């Protein structure tokens, strides 16, 4: 079975993946380093070309090791902090990935390669449930199961443990064939369970909406004459450059923007938490989906202008 290289709109893509089903795969997790300063989670501040070996990132970091940057795995050999940003000196195209151009604001994260310990894994990338509401937001999900020799390396109560399982981890699944990999899924808010009798650990993840899903929301928010991307950026405190409209304009031969999806007035008076807010947005005939590159994709074929809201 080959890698799935399709782009959004992703209507439904759900399957169970076993080790023997793929020619090549990598399972990597962010956030396992015991030294929190070594868990790099940031974004690049300038476009990176495929032939460059220096990457500038936001914030201060001293991490050396493997990182994920979109479809590419890279290795950071050294870091230099200039007081505002960090210069990463890197080796490109690691572990079967290809050196690519990466746009400004792309996320880059330190990763621990757990591939050799993986027994099985599954990810369920779903933009909506066609059996209920075509636009109703739902969470994609995934899990990985590890077989480990030293279970104590993972126990939170062990002061000499090797891995940090006390923080919310992030999952990267790369798949491919003929020795070439591509990022297929990114999962967030990892939870884990132990089976000491079999020395197995299972991590469960959801898509990025889980970071907001159950959080309470300010009921007093009102937006006037704003595009949907502007509303989402303000309410989620999310970089508007990572919010992208993903309906293709076949006449113009390019992606549309969301300018026609404008809201004269929309508010959060009847909203309790962020999952309610996602549902409110869906009533505009809009699907919201976080892809594997941390882009929040807006998808709709409905031309709509909201005249008033709660």
- Model confidence at 124, pLDDT cuts 50, 70, 90, reads confident
Residues 78 and 197 in one domain: yes
| Residue 2 included in any domain | no
Q: Report the CATH number that the domain containing residue 233 is assigned in CATH.
A: 3.55.50
| Residue 171 included in any domain | yes
The pLDDT, as a whole number, for residue 288 is 87
Residues 241 and 167 in one domain: no
Query: Kind of pairing, strands 248-249 and 287-290?
Result: unpaired
Say how far apart CA 235 and CA 214 lie, in whole Å. 14
- Model confidence at 24, pLDDT cuts 50, 70, 90, reads confident
| Residue 128 included in any domain | yes
- Model confidence at 43, pLDDT cuts 50, 70, 90, reads very high
CA dihedral sign of residues 280, 285, 291, 297: negative
Residues 289 and 143 in one domain: no
Instruction: Tell me which residue range forms the domain holding 175.
Output: 12-209
Instruction: Please state which of the ranges 26-35, 165-174, 207-216 shows the lowest mean pLDDT.
Output: 165-174
| Residue 16 included in any domain | yes
Residues 226 and 113 in one domain: no
Q: Which residue, 109, 32, 118, is CA-closest to 72?
A: 109
Instruction: Please state which of the ranges 46-50, 67-71, 81-85, 264-268 shows the lowest mean pLDDT.
Output: 264-268
Average pLDDT over residues 19-38: 80
Give the DSSP per-residue string, 14-46: EEEEEGGG-SEEEEEEES--SSGGG--EEEBSS
Residues 239 and 138 in one domain: no
Q: Is 54 in contact with 47 (CB distance < 8 Å)? A: no
The pLDDT, as a whole number, for residue 13 is 38
Residues 131 and 269 in one domain: no
The pLDDT, as a whole number, for residue 249 is 62
| Residue 45 included in any domain | yes
Average pLDDT over residues 153-171: 87
| Residue 308 included in any domain | no
Indicate the residue among 209, 242, 263 that finishes a domain.
209
| Residue 146 included in any domain | yes
Residues 71 and 32 in one domain: yes
Say how far apart CA 55 and CA 29 lie, in whole Å. 21
Average pLDDT over residues 35-64: 95
Say how far apart CA 257 and CA 239 lie, in whole Å. 16
Structure-model confidence comparison of residues 259 and 201, the more confident one: 201
The pLDDT, as a whole number, for residue 236 is 95
Indicate the residue among 209, 234, 267 that finishes a domain.
209
Residues 164 and 86 in one domain: yes
| Residue 4 included in any domain | no
Say how far apart CA 193 and CA 190 lie, in whole Å. 10
The pLDDT, as a whole number, for residue 266 is 83
**Averaged pLDDT score across all residues of the chain:** 83
Position 10 pLDDT exceeds 70 = no
pLDDT in tens, 206-238: 999 999 999 999 999 998 888 888 999 999 999
Most confident range (mean pLDDT) of 73-82, 147-156, 163-172, 272-281 is 73-82
Say how far apart CA 98 and CA 100 lie, in whole Å. 6
Residues 105 and 186 in one domain: yes
Q: Which residue, 20, 38, 31, 114, is CA-closest to 76?
A: 38
Residues 262 and 135 in one domain: no
- Model confidence at 174, pLDDT cuts 50, 70, 90, reads very high
Instruction: Write phi, then psi, for 216 (nearest 5 degrees).
Output: -70, 150
User: What is the maximum alpha-carbon separation in the chain?
Assistant: 62
Residues 140 and 228 in one domain: no
Residues 34 and 183 in one domain: yes
Distances (CA, A) of 34 to 167, 197, 198: 10, 25, 25
Q: Report the predicted TM-score, pTM, of the whole model to 2 decimal places.
A: 0.85
Say how far apart CA 37 and CA 66 lie, in whole Å. 15
Indicate the residue among 181, 209, 237 that finishes a domain.
209
% of the chain at pLDDT higher than 70: 81
The pLDDT, as a whole number, for residue 66 is 98
Say how far apart CA 234 and CA 122 lie, in whole Å. 33
Average pLDDT over residues 122-137: 67
* H or E element that contains 54: strand 54-58
Count of structural domains, the chain: 2
């Amino acid at each position: 079975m080959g890698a799935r290289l399709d782009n959004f709109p992703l209507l439904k893509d759900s399957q169970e993946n076993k080790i023997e089903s793929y020619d090549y795969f990598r399972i990597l997790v962010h956030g396992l380093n015991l030294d929190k300063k070594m868990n790099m989670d940031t974004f690049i501040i300038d476009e990176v070309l495929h032939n460059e070996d220096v990457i500038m990132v936001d914030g201060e970091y001293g991490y050396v090791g493997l990182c994920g940057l979109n479809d590419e795995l890279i290795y950071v050999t050294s870091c230099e902090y200039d007081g505002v940003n960090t210069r990463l000196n890197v080796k490109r195209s690691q572990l079967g990935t290809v050196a690519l151009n990466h746009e400004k604001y792309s996320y880059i994260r330190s990763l621990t390669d757990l591939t050799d310990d993986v027994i099985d894994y599954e990810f369920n990338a779903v933009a909506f449930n066609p059996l209920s509401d075509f636009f109703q937001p739902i969470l994609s999900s995934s899990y990985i199961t590890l077989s480990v020799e030293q279970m104590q390396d993972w126990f939170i109560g062990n002061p000499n443990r090797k891995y940090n399982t006390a923080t919310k981890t992030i999952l990267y699944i790369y798949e491919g064939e003929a020795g070439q990999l591509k990022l297929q899924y990114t999962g967030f808010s990892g939870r884990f369970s132990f089976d000491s009798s079999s020395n197995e650990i299972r991590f469960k993840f959801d898509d990025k909406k889980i970071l907001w899903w159950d959080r309470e929301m300010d009921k007093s928010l009102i937006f006037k004459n704003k595009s949907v991307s502007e509303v989402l950026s303000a309410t989620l405190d999310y970089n508007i450059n990572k919010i992208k409209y993903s309906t293709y304009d076949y006449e113009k031969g390019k992606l549309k923007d969301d300018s026609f999806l404008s809201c004269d007035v929309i508010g959060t008076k009847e909203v309790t938490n962020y999952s309610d807010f996602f549902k409110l947005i869906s009533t505009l005939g809009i699907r919201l989906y976080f892809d594997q590159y941390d882009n929040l994709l807006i998808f709709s074929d409905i031309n709509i202008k909201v005249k008033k809201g709660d």
